Amino acid sequence: MEDLRVTGYNALLNPIYLQEEFPAQCGAYSEKTKDTVGKARQEAAAILRGEDDRLIVIVGPCSIHDVDAAKEYCNKLLPVKERLGGELLIVMRSYFEKPRTTVGWKGLINDPDINNGYNINKGLRVARKLLCELTDSGMPVAVELLDTISPQYLADLISWGAIGARTTESQLHRELASGVSFPVGFKNGTDGNVKIAIDAIGSAAAPHHFLGVTKSGMVSITHTSGNPDTHVILRGANSGPNYDAEHVAKAKENLEKAKLRPNVMID
């Protein structure tokens, strides 16, 4: 007896087909996109390693629901990025998935038409096309990694990733972070627990072997080498904010005790 509570299945397009439809490294989005993504990844990693004294700033809407509005925002942010580039590495927040405490709209990928149609194939296409356009304009992008499959469709366009407060403690997300090709920030828990983010950093830095999906859509055993470019994000708690000097100092102290780089981002 199985699938007693499953009401149906729909075929999901393979990641490689979507990459061929909206290529990042050939065709219309060739060198500019590749340079934008790669340069921001390298600069973010250098900042986290103490080789660059600038600050990383992730700026943008809570989540993207309107493609035209996102592109307008990008066009207005680009000159700011250039003007402040000597002090800040600005990356545009381009979140397509929303974690929900209970239920609600789960984001542009899950329901792109915001009508409970759940046309996920369309959502993936819209998301990838937008990331191609943003990065082709010279704007690097940041994305929250909410599930472990969608990164195969978008990861080649991402310069920085976030693991949210509700998923930082998840082994699946720590494994995912260990294999992505860009820096990742782990948020403290909704209860304010920073230790789970510190534990996640240690876990993501290690090699892992887990169930995954290839670019061709085949279920696979995935092997990773570990991601050294990770950090804590202080995002507040149910009881209030945690971005004051005392909380920041405590987080840095606990990172150093764990023999990790004391990198902290304020959300």
Query: pLDDT per residue over 163-219, tens digit each?
Result: 999 999 999 999 999 999 999 999 999 999 999 999 999 999 999 999 999 999 999
- The pLDDT confidence band at residue 68, using thresholds 50, 70 and 90, is very high
How much of the chain exceeds pLDDT 70, in percent? 97
Between 26 and 108, whose confidence is greater?
108
Q: Is 1 exposed, middle or buried (0-12, 13-18, 19+ CB in 10 A)?
A: exposed
Q: Tell me the CATH number for domain 12-144.
A: 3.20.20.70
Q: What pLDDT digit, counting tens, does each position of 210-267 carry?
A: 999 999 999 999 999 999 999 999 999 988 999 999 999 999 999 999 999 999 999 9
Domain ranges in the chain? 12-144, 164-267
Q: What is the C-alpha to C-alpha distance for residues 235 and 163, in angstroms, rounded to an integer?
A: 11
**Contact, 234 vs 251, CB < 8 A?**
yes
Q: Tell me the pLDDT tens digit for each residue of 21-66.
A: 888 654 455 689 999 999 999 999 999 999 999 999 999 999 999 9
What is the Cα–Cα distance from 46 to 53, expressed in whole angstroms? 9
Strand ordering across the sheet containing 55-59? 55-59, 88-93, 141-144, 160-163, 184-187, 230-234, 264-266
212 forms beta bridges with 220
CB atoms within 10 A of CB 85: 12
Question: Which residues partner with 184 through β-bridges?
Answer: 161, 230
